[in-house]
Chain A
Amino acid sequence: MRRLAVVTFLVAVVALGLWKLLPFWSAQTPVVDSTPVVSPVTSYGDVRVRDGETVCVSGVKLSPRSRFLRFLASSIRPAKVRLAIRSDGYRFRGSASPPQQPPLTIPITAPRSEIAGATVCLSVRSRAPLTLLGIPRGRTFSDSDTTVNGTATAVNATLTVLEDPGSSRASSLPATIRHASALSPLPVWMTWVTLVLASAGVLAALALGLGQSAENLPTRRQGNVKESGPDR
């Protein structure tokens, strides 16, 4: 019975894992570096930027792993925007063509060290306006501010800094573990050990425990058993 229990358990774990866990861990997902202005959930608005205008988001945190900026931006007609990031000791310039449906993802060169308060600007250089979705001011906890040509807007434009715009959950696990370790006292290697224990260690413990329990042992010392008759 011990072997039957262990083999059945392992086969079931593999089968259920292939059915549910494999698609989960192979699904594509962006790897976030920071969320200076989060996406709207219940309350949203937009910022419209016309030809010649510049929209800026201040107070953006960047790290040496920041590789992409993602705005919930779109333009109904083909357009061109120029990106400029400025901060003490760090400058970046680039350009992009906004899609007809958000998001607009622009690759950047990562700074060498963490930057606390960068300003990210998009200048529109075409007749089609750029629309950025965001959260009305006062409905967000963000420290970042959005301005158009220096004037504060009623809506804070959503901005996400990404390490990777899309990779499988499994391949983004090292980044995920690094982020989780940053907010716990466990160093990264110990968090890895915990995860290995939770998967392989628990699997082994359950197989062992199940195998032992399948030996048809009684639950109590027989002296304490008051009821009579077999269970089955």
Chain B
Amino acid sequence: MRRIFDALRRVPASLALLMLVAFISALVWNVATAPLQGPDEIEHVAYVARLAETGKAPSRTSGKHPYGDDQAAAISQLDLDALIQNPEARPDWAESARQAIERQSSAPGSRASGEGPNPTAGNPPLYYALEASAWHLTPGGGFLGRLFVMRMVSGLLLAAAVAFAWLMAGEVFRRRLPQFTVAAFVALLPIAGSLGGVVNPDIAIAAAWTAFLWLALRTTRLGPTPARVALTTLAAAAALLVHGRSLPIIPALLVVLVVAWIANRSRPREILAGAATAGALALFGGLAYRLQTAGQQGGIYGDQANLGNSAAFNVRQFGSFVWQFYLPRLSGMEPRPGPSHGFRQVFIEQFLGGTFALNEVYLPYSLYDTVQVAAIVILAAAYTCLVLRWRTVLDRWPVAVIVGLTTAGALLFLHLASYRALINGSADPLLAGRYLMPLVAVLGLAPATVVAALPRRAATVAAAVFVAAVFVLSLYAAGTTLGRFYA
């Protein structure tokens, strides 16, 4: 106990403040977002309710009641169906509606009936199990009370992501200011706050990936002891047990092990022990997952990882598809399949600026334009800093390789999933801004790189202006969402 207190006392005040900022930000988003209006929140809450009440996940394809009776009562009494995608609609906040939900919540058996179908049922159970504990912690709270507490768990995960981002940045930079910049970016980015204020596993993916990156960099720097490799593997396993979108963390883990081996060749015994630990954990995790899903139909992640006919895959077309996501189409290129959905929509509007609730709460386009200009300037400046300081980058090649390949792998996976979905006839590009949450801390490294490279006074000014800008953006976004649902 004393060791825990000592460890807590060593937490830097700046980090403690940023974690508090993240939690308060998530709390505001919790209040600002109407019940069940987060991305796919209706289905995620139904999954948690079913798991908490019966110990079983819902079915993806069968069943007659997708939601528990209390959740169905909330949807109908609060007019939540009418709210979806209609910016003029408001929930019913009359006292009578609330009382009707509470009456339904207290009816026996009202919570356990959401057997399915539930499209999120193919997701692994880790995030939902965590939320199920919150569900049980508020037995007398009624449906809205339980939803509020479950959303607070997401807020805690955002605070954890901030702590991991701080630690990760500590492995990349040697000074506190760029470290603060990365963690503040994660704490204040509106999309992170909004996901910390609803029930959605994307915030858990962000926390797990950021923890993985921190542990990976630490393992590489200090050497791959069995304990360090085990922790890194556990972080990867946690990400895999949260969502199928974490699959690219497997090659990232292999990259980490190879880099750790090359960077610490003088300690072969440590490396062997570390690799054996990772292998044993992976084997154990795979067996446990196989046992848990033995009775279920479909492939891995409830068949969600199967994106259709792989025969239709064409490397040249895929290359053109990715090119046109980021850059204008060149002559000779076929038009990109699917809707117009590129860097501007995903990175700028949906992620850095943010679209909220069920992707229906937008900021003014002039604000997205400002964010786009700022993002491009910061990326160009960060690139220039890296080129000018190439010797430092070479000296610290393990950091560059791990961060670079993990980022590239995650993005490639998202593009691949999107491409395969579109060429197999889907109208949905399966790529939303929130899918970039695993890389939220990595994206925060860009402004921090500029801060780290500038002279001290200029760096202080740059960090202060950057943090102020993200803070004002977060206030604007939360205010817009609050007004959309409750003004």
Do A and B pair up? The answer is: yes
In the complex, which of the residues B31, B89, B396 contacts A227, with contact meaning CB atoms closer than 8 Å?
A: B396
Whether A35 contacts B82 in the complex (CB less than 8 A), given A203-B471, A206-B471, A209-B18, comes out as yes
- Knowing A191-B31, A231-B174, say if A198 contacts B456 (CB, 8 Å): no
In the complex, identify which listed stretch (A18-26, A79-87, A146-154) lies at the interface while the others stay far away: A18-26
What total count of A-B pairs have CB within 8 Å?
227
Q: Considering the complex, which residues of chain B in the window 78-95 have a beta carbon less than 8 Å from any beta carbon of chain A?
A: 78-79, 81-82, 85-95
A172 within 8 A of B: yes
Q: Does B64 contact A (CB under 8 A)?
A: no
Contact residues in A for B170 (Cβ distance below 8 Å):
219-220
Residue tally, chain A, CB below 8 Å to B = 75
Give the chain B neighbours of A97 by CB distance below 8 A.
none
User: C-beta contact mask, A184-221 vs B, less than 8 Å → 1, else 0?
Assistant: 11100001001101110111011011101111111110
B453 at the interface (CB under 8 A from A): yes
A contact residues around B14 at 8 Å (CB): 208-210, 212-213
Once the chains bind, are B96 and A194 in contact (CB under 8 Å)? no
CB neighbours (8 Å) of A30 from chain B are: 487
Chain B binder among A2-10, A46-54, A104-112, A118-126: A2-10
- Identify B487's interface contact among A9, A172, A199, A219, CB under 8 A: A172
Which of A195, A209, A229 is the one whose CB lies under 8 Å from B180?
A: A209
How far is A61 from B96 in the complex, measured between Cα atoms in Å? 10
Closest Cβ neighbor of B478 among chain A residues: A198
Q: A1-B456, A31-B487 are in contact. Are A182 and B177 (CB under 8 A)?
A: no
Given A5-B463, A61-B92, A210-B463, A202 and B487 touching (CB < 8 A)? no
Complex Cα distance A29/B480, Å?
Answer: 12
Looking across the interface, which residue of chain B has its beta carbon closest to that of A63? B94
The reply to whether A201 and B24 form a contact with Cβ atoms under 8 Å apart is yes
Q: What would be 19 A-B contacts, judged by CB atoms less than 8 Å apart?
A: A4-B461, A8-B461, A25-B479, A35-B82, A39-B86, A39-B89, A41-B85, A179-B93, A182-B98, A184-B31, A206-B467, A206-B468, A206-B471, A213-B14, A219-B170, A219-B174, A225-B174, A226-B221, A227-B174
B475 contacts partner chain A, Cβ-Cβ < 8 Å = yes
Q: B81 to nearest A CB, angstroms?
A: 4
Which chain B residue has the least Cβ–Cβ distance from A164?
B487
Q: Is B17 positioned at the interface, with any CB of A under 8 Å from its CB? A: yes
Determine if A78 is an interface residue (Cβ-Cβ < 8 Å).
no
Q: Which of A13, A191, A224 contacts B468, CB < 8 Å?
A: A13
Q: How long is the Cα–Cα vector from A12 to B471 in the complex, in angstroms?
A: 10
- Asked whether B86 lies within 8 Å of A214 as measured between CB atoms, the reply is no
Q: Judge whether B455 and A232 touch: CB under 8 Å.
A: yes
- Interchain CA distance A8-B44 in the complex, whole Å: 42
Residues of B near A194 (CB, < 8 A) are: 24, 27-28, 31
B residues within 8 A CB of A199?
475
Q: Is the CB of B93 within 8 A of A182?
A: yes
Q: Is B283 part of the binding interface, using a Cβ–Cβ cutoff of 8 Å?
A: no
Question: A140 on the interface (CB 8 Å rule)?
Answer: yes
- B-to-A contact residues, CB < 8 Å: 12-14, 17-18, 20-21, 24-25, 27-28, 30-32, 34-35, 78-79, 81-82, 85-96, 98, 141, 144-145, 148, 169-170, 173-177, 179-180, 184, 221-222, 367, 392, 395-396, 452-457, 459-461, 463-465, 467-469, 471-472, 475-476, 478-480, 482-483, 485-487
Q: Is the CB of A214 within 8 A of B460?
A: yes
Chain B CB within 8 A of A169 CB: yes
Whether A180 sits at the interface, judged by CB under 8 Å, is yes
A5 to B456, CA, bound (A): 11
A24:B145 contact, CB within 8 angstroms: no
A227 to B170, CA, bound (A): 13
Structural contact, B461 and A160, CB atoms closer than 8 A? no
A32 touches B487 (CB 8 A): yes
Q: In whole Å, how far is B30's beta carbon from the nearest beta carbon of chain A?
A: 7
Separation of A34 and B222 alpha carbons in the complex (Å): 60
Min Cβ gap B486→A in Å is: 4
Q: Would you give the shortest CB distance from A195 to chain B, in whole angstroms? A: 7
Closest approach, in angstroms, between the C-beta of A19 and any C-beta of chain B?
A: 8
Q: Is the CB of B30 within 8 A of A35?
A: no
Interfacial chain A residues near B176, Cβ < 8 Å? 212-219
Complex Cα distance, B487 from A34, in Å, reads 10
Contact across chains for B34 and A183 when beta carbons are under 8 A apart: yes
Distance in Å from the Cβ of A1 to the closest Cβ of chain B? 5
**Binary per-residue interface labels of chain A (131-161) against chain B in the complex, 1 for a CB within 8 Å, 0 otherwise:** 0000000001110000000000000000010
